[in-house]
Amino acid sequence: MSSAYRILLVEDSETQVLRLQYLFSLEGWDTERASTAEEALEKLKQVVPDLIILDQYLPGMKGTELCREIRRRASAWNPNILIFTSDNSFDSGGEEYLSKSVESQVLVNRVRALLDKPKPDTRNQEARTQRQARLLAVDDSPSYLEYLTYELSSDGHAVEAASNGPEALERIKARGYDCILLDLVMPGMNGMEVCHEISRMRDELPTHPLVLMLTAHENAGEVARGLESGADDFVGKSSDVTILKSRVRALLRRRVYQDALKDKEIEVLRLKAAREAAEIKAALLSTITEKNLDLEETNRKLKETQMHLVHSANMASLGQLVAGIAHEINNPISFVDNNCFLIKEKLENLGSQCEDVLSAPQKKLIQSGTERLNEARMGLVRVKELVSKLRTFSRLDEGDFKNINVHESIDSVLLLLRHRNPRIEVDRNFSGAPMLNCAPGQLNQVLMNILANAMDAIGEQAGKIIIRTEVGDRWYCISVRDSGPGIPAAIQSRLFQPFFTTKPVGAGTGLGLAISHSIIQAHQGQIEVISPEGGGAEFRVRIPIDLSEKVHHGISAY
């Protein structure tokens, strides 16, 4: 296949060369290979590639050093260069910088973009430079000015003429020139004065021209004075015109190279500015992200604090209500129980004293009344038991750590929740020791939340709840398992998040399990949920048997 482009690969890795040659052959591009920097420089004397691809790490010389050397030697045609490197060595003069691990398609696209970039005609670079050059010849001799204009125009330059210094300065202000050929000795304003004025106007000119000073008497003194005035080169008028043309070409090549360097410097500055802008943007984004995270964390803590305050207020209100009811009920119950006992005793005494005069139906009536009083007293005992359970649940007098009977706490919570669904069977499997050192009121909150959720999961139909306690080497374990439909795996990880609930609007706040999780964490314990696919859910609570005094104080302040 004929190739539209030629690429020089400077690479010492055979594997990398084979890869690149294969990729480029698919695009129809010809490749030549050099293994070292020296071999590459020799090849460049014979071939003019459209693109040079350099490895950063070559034997004896880095790719960036070779790039600078190529730029120095090939300034006339200014080749496109791609460097495989891990760092951005922009000052080396490369067009592109890529990692060797870059994807093949990305590499091909980058290479194609470089090959398609407009570039000078390398076969006739010097003539192209000359044709593009705009020159101004300044001399007070009309004959020499005409001769000079003719010779330079024949060399392919666009030449204009000025007969004196002021006229030349007006033209320079109005139009941009690449090079000024300036006679040293002129009436009115000599060449050095014009050169000084050009230097002074540097910032006002469209382009700053190079100055080639011309003199009829080429000696060391005049050359030194001319160069000191700001001229770039010095040529005698008596010299062969070929020398003058060569000096002009050299200056113009220098101008092309300087412009290329200036463009490269601008590109480097642009890339540096873009990189700094990207770094500043990244820093700002990082700062904003950190602040957002801080705000989110603060918002989360505020929500948790609000949650704790709401729940604590609700539980405190409930505890006060329960304690108040228990206290108010306890006094009349004691009064009624005492009266029942007295009435029963009087009936029994009446029956004994009047046994001879009472008929059988009367005796039976007294006996029936005594039995009814016994039954009433049994009911009062049950009410007293309920009051005791209410006081156990409220535990307003037990805010600090103390040893409690966990089994009694469970029973008191079940007693309070019994009205929700009398059809639920509760299986108590209390194999662990009953006593545990903890914050009693807070443990009651946890038990209330878990058991209430278990009953809600079962709903109004018949079901079963299994409660187990056991004691290990380090943990006191409480397990509550229900026969409900279970908890989908997708939401199990969110159960303990504040305000998350699956209940209908108005039926739940999503605070119960979140607060339970916080309480158990404050006890240095663990709470988890297990819900198999077959249905049912089990909540397991583990509390350390021995808690440090420091933890006690932390939980008391909870």
**Mean pLDDT value of segment 182-194:** 88
Q: What is the pLDDT of residue 412?
A: 86
557 has a pLDDT exceeding 90: no
Q: Residue 510 corresponds to which tokens in the numbers above? A: 């999503």
Task: Indicate whether 134 and 79 sit together in one domain.
Answer: no
**Residue 220 belongs to some domain of the structure:** yes
**Mean pLDDT value of segment 413-420:** 82
Task: Indicate whether 546 and 462 sit together in one domain.
Answer: yes
Q: What is the pLDDT of residue 121?
A: 44
Q: What is the CA radius of gyration of the chain?
A: 51
**Residue 344 belongs to some domain of the structure:** no
β pairing state of 57-58 and 61-62: antiparallel
Task: Indicate whether 163 and 63 sit together in one domain.
Answer: no
Q: What is the pLDDT of residue 63?
A: 84
**Mean pLDDT value of segment 18-35:** 90
Task: Indicate whether 66 and 194 sit together in one domain.
Answer: no
**Residue 272 belongs to some domain of the structure:** no
Residue 249: pLDDT band (50, 70, 90) is: confident
Task: Indicate whether 108 and 138 sit together in one domain.
Answer: no
Task: Indicate whether 58 and 178 sit together in one domain.
Answer: no
Chosen domain end from 119, 134, 152: 119
% of the chain with per-residue pLDDT over 70: 78
**Residue 37 belongs to some domain of the structure:** yes
Residue 541: pLDDT band (50, 70, 90) is: very high
**Mean pLDDT value of segment 401-413:** 87
549 has a pLDDT exceeding 60: no
Q: What is the pLDDT of residue 119?
A: 53
% of the chain with per-residue pLDDT over 90: 11
**Residue 112 belongs to some domain of the structure:** yes
Q: Lowest-confidence range among 5-19, 269-283, 491-505? A: 491-505
454 has a pLDDT exceeding 50: yes
Task: Indicate whether 42 and 182 sit together in one domain.
Answer: no
427 has a pLDDT exceeding 50: yes
Mean pLDDT, the chain, rounded, equals: 78
Task: Indicate whether 142 and 229 sit together in one domain.
Answer: yes
Chosen domain end from 239, 266, 292: 239
Instruction: Please count the structural domains in the chain.
Output: 3
**According to the per-residue pLDDT averaged within each range, which of 105-114, 161-170, 294-303, 436-445 is highest?**
161-170
The CATH number of whichever domain residue 213 belongs to comes to: 3.40.50.2300
Task: Indicate whether 38 and 168 sit together in one domain.
Answer: no
Task: Indicate whether 105 and 222 sit together in one domain.
Answer: no
- Domain span at 97: 6-119
Chosen domain end from 239, 274, 298: 239
How crowded is residue 531: how many other Cβ atoms within 10 Å of its Cβ? Answer: 22
Task: Indicate whether 175 and 230 sit together in one domain.
Answer: yes
DSSP codes of every residue in 367-395 = HHHHHHHHHHHHHHHHHHHHHHHHHHHH-
At 52, is the secondary structure helix, strand, or coil? Answer: strand
Task: Indicate whether 511 and 477 sit together in one domain.
Answer: yes
